[in-house]
Amino acid sequence: MPLKTYWLEHAWLGTHVEPGVALDVSADGRIAALRTGADAPPPGAEVLRGLTVPGLANAHSHAFHRALRSTVQVGSGTFWTWRDVMYNVAQSLTPDTYFALARAVYAEMALAGITNVGEFHYVHHAPGGVPYADPNAMGEALIEAAAEAGIRITLLDTVYLSAGFGEAPNPHQLRFSDGAAEAWAERVSALKPREHATIGAAIHSVRAVPADQLAAVARWAEEHRAPLHVHLSEQTAENDACQAAHGRTPTQLLADHGVLGPRTTGVHNTHLTDTDIALLGGSATGTCMCPTTERDLADGIGPATRLQRAGSPLSLGSDSHAVIDLLEEARAMELDERLRSRTRGHWTANALLTAATEGGHAALGRPDAGRLEAGALADFTTIALDSVRTAGPLPRLGAETAVFAATAADVRHTVVGGRHVVRDGAHTLVGDVAAALAESIAAVRG
């Protein structure tokens, strides 16, 4: 007998919207069975009205950047002046304040229908670079924050060793650095996966990890069968510096040191050559696009269509959390490409939802999530089809409505492991998410 049954008024099954679906959840938090043609709720079933889709996967997050929202919109500046503001917030974090902030941010994600977050984590040590008594205190704070917010996390523990090609870390970056990839590997190996937490790896960027350290990180990820992410060609200045230091692009440098491959995801992949695209696609290295951050920081529009055609799987992330809305990320990827190309229809709504769900979970090392099918994790979210944004279209156009009209504010329910985390738009574990955000952000602003 199923532990619980949900009746989905409408369900997106990857290729189409199906009306009247009964979904059984087993005791292990997975989908036991999916039955279509259920015109009415079975006895005792919990009713989810609207469009239910697999849980959204936020494949790229820096939780503490949430404290920068609006603050960095005062005046003008560049990516590099934005980074200076970011450093100031990073300096104020402690394990306790980071836990409180991340718990609130992850609760905001749950309210937006996100069931799994890829946390690109590089604030490891105390200011000045002195390790905490528990060298993984900051990472453990993030793992516990996700648990209390009710979502899954892939902790992408990040190697960050240099301020630039051949430069020692600056004072702000000392707390990011383990000194060498070998020391990083020893520390990260002490982190243990849990039911809600997967441990992965990240190379911050080719400017922050010397070339002779790259292979060691890739080797650790391979040995631990862990996802490996890397910021790649976000800024042209990084490309220029890499050419000056190594005579090749960042993508070519990563390829030379064995970093590329199906376990790896490049984040942004914005400023690429034809050769770069062929290397990424040919190696099945993934691409995580973060359109709301890329437009906020004036990074540019990455060649997502060409990357996907070349063989690079797509995922999406909210990165700096200028907004937390994976539906907006999906919409923006298509609409940005329309602006650049002056043509429409690069991805269908189904393809964009796939990037926001199955593609993201796969990039985070959870290929058992992101689909509404028997055996998958019972992680899903329900989007209202009767709000002022979504009312009117036929329910069979639910995928188009979700991607091109809905926002995070239209998320009605979020279920993780078969249990409600968000019910009727309210978080079941964090009583007042807005208050938690305000309080935790005030604490790190000083």
Phi and psi angles of residue 322, each rounded to the nearest 5 degrees, phi first? -55, -35
Q: Does residue 367 contact residue 361 with C-beta atoms inside 8 Å?
A: yes
Give the containing element (helix H, strand E) for 285: none
Question: What is the distance between the alpha carbons of residues 374 and 385, in angstroms, rounded to a whole number?
Answer: 25
Angstrom distances, CA of residue 84 to CA of 123, 170, 202: 15, 12, 22
Tokens 């437009």 appear where? 295
How far apart, in whole angstroms, are the C-alpha atoms of residue 247 and residue 228?
A: 24
Residue burial 182-196, b: 16+ Cβ < 10 Å; e: rest: eebbebbeebeeeeb
DSSP string, 115-148: EEEEEEE---S-TTSPPPSSTTHHHHHHHHHHHH
- From the list 354, 360, 353, 290, the residue with the least C-alpha distance to 319 is 290
Task: Catalogue the active-site residues.
Answer: 268, 319
For residue 168, give the nearest of 180, 183, 157, 158 by alpha carbon. Answer: 180
Long-range CB pairs of 329-335, under 8 A, 24+ apart, other chains included: 329/289, 329/290, 329/291, 329/292, 329/356, 330/355, 330/356, 330/403, 331/403, 331/404, 332/291, 332/292, 332/295, 333/289, 333/291, 333/304, 334/403
